[in-house]
Amino acid sequence: MPLLVVGSVAFDSIRTPHGQAEEVLGGSATFLSLAASWFAPVRVVAVVGEDFSDRHLGVFRARSIDTAGLERVPGRTFRWRGEYVGDMQEARTLETQLNVFAEFAPKIPPAYHDSEYVFLANIDPILQLHVRRQLPKARLVGLDSMNFWIDGKPAELKKVLAEVDILFVNEREARTLSGHPNLKKAAESLQKLGLRAVVIKRGEHGATLFAGNSIFSAPAYPLDKVCDPTGAGDSFAGGFMGHLARTGDTSDVNLRRALVYGSVMASFAVEEFGLVRLLSLTSEEIDTRYREFKTLTHFDA
């Protein structure tokens, strides 16, 4: 099954203790699409500016991503500049230029209206709801948000949460949105907004899935070197949703596998700057790392 991804395309300038990269292709829709493309056909809806070249388009094409929904408009593409220091737990944003992304109004091509698997990356919740309502056949819709919308448009965000299936948030976002400092209570309270499941992304600490009454936790893959954490969360969501779209199985058991595939893709994404690693993977590497997660977490009862 194809996965429809709606989000941002950006040019990122990044400095980490391991080096720097200037104006490399990034953005939530890009990381999501590339990570998911290892599992299922991907359709992407995003906006880019006149500076988005055929070379950039070639990155999506190289992974056979359907770019009919990639709208090019006058102006410059979204730009983000940030740095990570020390243990690289958090990005420090140095500059954000929304550019054409400021006026992003996602247009879903008619050919995408039959999409059953959908991911709404971090954009205005009003736009997320608008997209959601154009997709009557959606079987499973994942959604990401951020503190900017949680603080700024909580009512609008809760409205769209009632119409999607899985929320992906980090710990702080879960606490802020729910008002509960306790993470379990926070997740359970978010589930009650009408969600099938809540996935808490914990960065280098892994991820936790709350689905029904069941909780599943997986660690992050222990890497020798985290080169660039940018896009880790989106690559996680891409692997997660890509696995669900590939299998067409939305059972709780398969959500657990999806969380591990998400962790696998996030672990690859951060090994190199930008998209380098997501473009140079093999399916064998993905399968091997999935099995390594089993070894990493196995203990005898």
Binding site for a second copy (CB under 8 A): 17, 86-88, 175, 181-185, 202, 204-206, 208, 214-219, 222-226, 253, 256-257, 259-260, 290-291, 293-301
Specify whether the CB–CB gap between 104 and 131 falls below 8 A. no
CB of residue 66 vs a second copy: minimum separation in angstroms? 30
Specify whether the CB–CB gap between 225 and 18 falls below 8 A. yes
Distance CA 274, CA 277 (A): 8
Q: Give me the residue label for tokens 């499941």.
A: 197
Pick between residue 55 and residue 294 the one whose CB is nearest to a second copy. Answer: 294
Number of H helices, E strands in the chain: 11, 13
Instruction: Calculate the alpha carbon distances from 22 to 11, 169, 170, 274, 289 in Å.
Output: 8, 28, 27, 10, 30
Distance CA 223, CA 270 (A): 9
Pick between residue 111 and residue 253 the one whose CB is nearest to a second copy. Answer: 253
Burial class (CB in 10 A: 0-12, 13-18, 19+), 179: exposed
Strand partners of residue 47: 71
Pick between residue 65 and residue 88 the one whose CB is nearest to a second copy. Answer: 88
Torsions phi, psi of 274, nearest 5? Answer: 55, -135
CB of residue 125 vs a second copy: minimum separation in angstroms? 25
Pick between residue 96 and residue 297 the one whose CB is nearest to a second copy. Answer: 297
Pick between residue 154 and residue 219 the one whose CB is nearest to a second copy. Answer: 219
Distance CA 243, CA 237 (A): 10
Pick between residue 18 and residue 113 the one whose CB is nearest to a second copy. Answer: 18
CB of residue 83 vs a second copy: minimum separation in angstroms? 15
CB of residue 108 vs a second copy: minimum separation in angstroms? 33
CB of residue 267 vs a second copy: minimum separation in angstroms? 12
CB of residue 177 vs a second copy: minimum separation in angstroms? 14
